[in-house]
């Protein structure tokens, strides 16, 4: 078909092709630009708890890697040497079961706390919450409270604005880098890390300090509530763990509505008003920018700041506190008192979670305290499966990795059993340094012809002479035809 034969293309004017946003029902934007939230600071019971948790978690996080245990760092995850030091424990990759146990306990704890008290973790202990709180505190100290920050952002770029913004960014960067440094200090001895970084030695260390620092800066300085809203999966599946007897931050609609402003001296009940004066203070303090009066929303991190804000207002109005409060949906609906609410909180699934959690914790503690601080791996020497040696003996060669998980040098005795006249022809006692592992070549011999051809189950016994621990490991002894 010649181009001249084709039907002329229909040209749509741009104005017609682009739907008019003002024409209702024609244009729906799938993207809503993020609005910056300017939370107002508030003091009160929950705000104090939040700060207590900030101090507690950060004293532990920043302080722990600087503490010593004997001659070494108290908590160190030495990935290079494949050894974890936790207080008096020296764990090897073979102790992975404890990490699995710890993860199961953490997951179960999260289920239990969520079933009992909603998003306690999110509101008070999650690193995203804690660092956002620290970064907002810095912002508040440098740029002022909500109204001052709103004015500053809306105003022109003056010298004062540049000074404040620069200072805030500089302090944020310093906190982020220190956080990255501390984090890496859990994997590399922290006292050696500083000099290494200053000398620009250790490329990986520099990379991870910058990476973790950047993540802290981005998440706590800029992303903030968006991490909780759009990135964290916990916010999405928490509703599966909630029920009507879960403690959550709730607005007492029956008491608060109809909301509206009023004069303090006028009897608002006679005018048909509820207790909510519609001051929006609860919305202004909310770090995720929601209005709790619209009911439970997945964005709510359960921080309780709106409770503090509303209680302040109730105090000023001389109304009873608790228009917004920590309660359960059933508690608010049935107007239960505290003991009635608590009785319903202790429901079967909470008791089951608690029982399983306690059993797991006890099991893990018993296992940790009774574990033998000795690990052994056995590898058969594939180059020499079986051979006849001087003296008419048949020999099999093995490599034993002996891991000393104590803080002192240990002498270990190696013996083997499972066949008549089986003996260790190589070194029978070895010394292994504190928290070290060593490969040891072991030769086992039997008199030639004392066992029929085939593969025979045997086991090695490795016993610590000083500490008394003992480990038995299975292997096989090959007799050729």
Which chain residues interact with ligand SF4 by CB under 6 A? 249, 256, 259, 276-282, 285-288, 290, 292-293, 300-306, 309-310, 313, 323-324
The CA distance from 42 to 315, in Å, is 14
Shorter beta-carbon distance to ligand SF4: residue 278 or 377: 278
The CA distance from 446 to 480, in Å, is 13
Shorter beta-carbon distance to ligand SF4: residue 310 or 397: 310
Closest CB 54 distance from ligand SF4, rounded Å: 15
Closest CB 98 distance from ligand SF4, rounded Å: 35
The CA distance from 117 to 175, in Å, is 31
**How many residues are present in the chain?**
481
Cis before 127 (ω within 30): no
Question: What is the helix (H) or strand (E) element at residue 168, kind and residue range?
Answer: helix 159-184
The number of CA neighbours under 13 Å toward the Cβ of 18 is: 5
Cis before 228 (ω within 30): no
Closest CB 365 distance from ligand SF4, rounded Å: 35
In sign, the C-alpha dihedral spanning 119, 225, 230, 54 is: negative
Shorter beta-carbon distance to ligand SF4: residue 62 or 268: 268
Residue with tokens 């739907």: 19
Shorter beta-carbon distance to ligand SF4: residue 292 or 422: 292
Closest CB 464 distance from ligand SF4, rounded Å: 55
Closest CB 297 distance from ligand SF4, rounded Å: 7
Shorter beta-carbon distance to ligand SF4: residue 313 or 400: 313
Shorter beta-carbon distance to ligand SF4: residue 161 or 321: 321
Closest CB 376 distance from ligand SF4, rounded Å: 53
The CA distance from 95 to 304, in Å, is 40
Q: Is 380 helix (H, G, I), strand (E, B) or coil?
A: strand
How many C-beta atoms surround the C-beta of residue 44 within 10 A?
17
């Amino acid at each position: 078909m010649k181009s001249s034969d084709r039907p002329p293309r229909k040209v749509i004017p741009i104005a017609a092709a682009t739907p008019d946003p003002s024409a209702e029902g024609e244009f729906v934007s799938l993207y809503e630009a993020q609005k910056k939230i300017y939370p107002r600071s508030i003091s009160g019971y929950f705000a104090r708890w939040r700060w207590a948790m900030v101090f507690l978690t950060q004293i532990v996080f920043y302080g722990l890697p600087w503490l010593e245990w004997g001659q070494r760092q108290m908590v160190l995850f030495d990935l290079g040497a494949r050894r974890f030091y936790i207080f008096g424990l020296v764990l090897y990759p073979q102790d992975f079961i404890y990490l699995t146990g710890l993860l199961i306990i953490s997951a179960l704890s999260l289920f239990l706390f969520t079933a009992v008290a909603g998003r306690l973790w999110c509101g008070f202990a999650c690193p995203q919450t804690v660092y956002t709180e620290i970064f907002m505190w810095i912002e508040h100290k440098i740029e002022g409270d909500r109204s001052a920050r709103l004015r500053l952002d809306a105003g022109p770029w003056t010298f004062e604005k540049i000074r404040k913004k620069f200072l805030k960014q500089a302090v944020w960067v310093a906190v982020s880098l220190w956080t990255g440094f501390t984090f890496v200090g859990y994997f590399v001895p922290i006292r050696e890390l500083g000099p290494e970084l200053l000398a620009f030695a250790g490329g990986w260390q520099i990379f991870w300090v910058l990476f973790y620092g950047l993540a802290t800066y981005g998440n706590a300085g800029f992303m903030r509530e968006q991490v909780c809203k759009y990135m964290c999966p916990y916010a999405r599946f928490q509703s599966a763990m909630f029920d009507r007897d879960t403690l959550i931050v709730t607005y007492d609609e029956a008491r608060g509505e109809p909301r509206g402003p009023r004069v303090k001296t006028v009897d608002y009940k006679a005018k048909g008003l509820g207790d909510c004066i519609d001051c929006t203070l609860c919305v202004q303090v909310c770090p995720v920018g929601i209005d709790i009066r619209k009911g439970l929303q997945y964005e709510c991190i359960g921080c309780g700041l709106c409770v503090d804000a509303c209680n302040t207002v109730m105090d000023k109005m001389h109304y009873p506190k608790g228009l917004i409060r920590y309660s359960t949906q059933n508690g608010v609906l049935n107007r239960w008192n505290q003991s009635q609410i608590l009785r319903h909180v202790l429901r079967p699934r909470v008791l089951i979670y608690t029982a399983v959690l306690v059993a797991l914790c006890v099991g893990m503690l018993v296992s940790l305290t009774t574990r033998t601080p000795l690990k052994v791996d056995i590898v058969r020497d594939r180059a020499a499966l079986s051979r006849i040696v001087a003296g008419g003996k048949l020999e099999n060669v093995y490599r034993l990795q002996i891991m000393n998980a104590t803080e002192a040098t240990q002498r270990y005795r190696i013996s083997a059993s499972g066949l008549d006249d089986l003996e260790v022809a190589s070194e029978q006692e070895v010394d292994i340094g504190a928290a070290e592992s060593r490969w040891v070549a072991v030769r086992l011999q039997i008199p030639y012809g004392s066992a029929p051809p085939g593969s025979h189950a045997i086991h090695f016994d490795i016993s610590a002479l000083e500490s008394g621990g003992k480990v038995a490991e299975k292997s096989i002894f090959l007799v050729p035809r």
